[in-house]
């Protein structure tokens, strides 16, 4: 499979209370800022927030299922949490190719998550091994990456309900 700088893929997911509660159960992260409305009301956020790593897991879902796709193996992921993700937010995760080392089968990608208001909530970089990615994956067109992503249009038919991938 050939990769070029600027290739990009996205996934959109509406964060629900059930998502946050399931994530807490699976990970053991039961911080009350995520689970207890009364506790969260007295924090700087004023209400419950989702786990930051829940938003990052949407990036993993893209890598392992959409682009590069099944067989992708994480080597590293840097993450900066820039703004809170609230229950009810619609998060769009995007991965964009920034470098491909074909001789090693290593792909470097810009990783970002944006909320429905166009606020970047997660910024980072992933490095993945793509030597075992199925060759039959569709070719994605290179797209320019905006300095600031505009707010996505509300279209409930476009929201993916995803689960954590094996990436």
Helix (H) or strand (E) holding 56: helix 52-65
We report the CATH number of the domain holding residue 130 as: 3.10.129.10
Q: How far apart are CA 75 and CA 128, in angstroms?
A: 5
* Domain contains 31: no
User: What averages of pLDDT result for each successive group of 10 residues across the chain (167 residues)?
Assistant: 92 98 97 98 97 97 95 97 98 98 96 98 97 63 48 45 38
Q: Quick one: pLDDT at residue 37?
A: 97
* Domain contains 115: yes
* Domain contains 162: no
Helix (H, G, I), strand (E, B) or coil at 125: strand
Q: Quick one: pLDDT at residue 57?
A: 97
* Domain contains 89: yes
* Domain contains 1: no
Residue 90 near residue 116, CB atoms below 8 Å: yes
Q: Quick one: pLDDT at residue 158?
A: 44
Max intra-chain CA distance, the chain: 54
Q: How far apart are CA 89 and CA 13, in angstroms?
A: 8
* Domain contains 70: yes
Q: How many residues does the chain have?
A: 167
Q: Quick one: pLDDT at residue 166?
A: 38
Q: Quick one: pLDDT at residue 148?
A: 52
Domain limits at 79? 8-15+52-144
Residue pointed to by tokens 């499979």 = 1
* Domain contains 34: no
Residue pointed to by tokens 């956020």 = 45
Domains of the chain: total: 1
Q: Quick one: pLDDT at residue 2?
A: 83
pTM for the whole structure? 0.79
- Per-residue CA distances from 135 to 16, 72, 109 (Å): 35, 12, 19
């Amino acid at each position: 499979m050939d990769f070029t700088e600027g290739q990009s893929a996205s996934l959109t997911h509406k964060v629900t209370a059930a998502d946050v509660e399931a994530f807490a159960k699976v990970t053991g992260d039961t911080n009350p800022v995520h689970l207890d409305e009364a506790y969260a009301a007295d924090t700087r956020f004023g209400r419950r927030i989702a786990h930051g790593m829940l938003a990052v897991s949407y990036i993993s879902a893209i890598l392992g299922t959409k682009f590069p796709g099944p067989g992708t193996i994480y080597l590293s992921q840097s993450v900066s949490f820039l703004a809170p993700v609230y229950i009810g937010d619609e998060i769009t995760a995007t991965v964009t190719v920034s470098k491909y080392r074909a001789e090693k089968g290593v792909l470097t990608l810009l990783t970002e998550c944006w909320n429905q208001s166009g606020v970047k909530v997660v910024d980072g970089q992933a490095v993945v091994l793509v030597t075992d990615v199925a060759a039959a994956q569709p070719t994605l067109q290179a797209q320019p990456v905006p300095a600031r992503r505009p707010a996505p249009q509300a279209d409930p038919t476009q929201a993916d309900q995803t689960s954590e991938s094996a990436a």
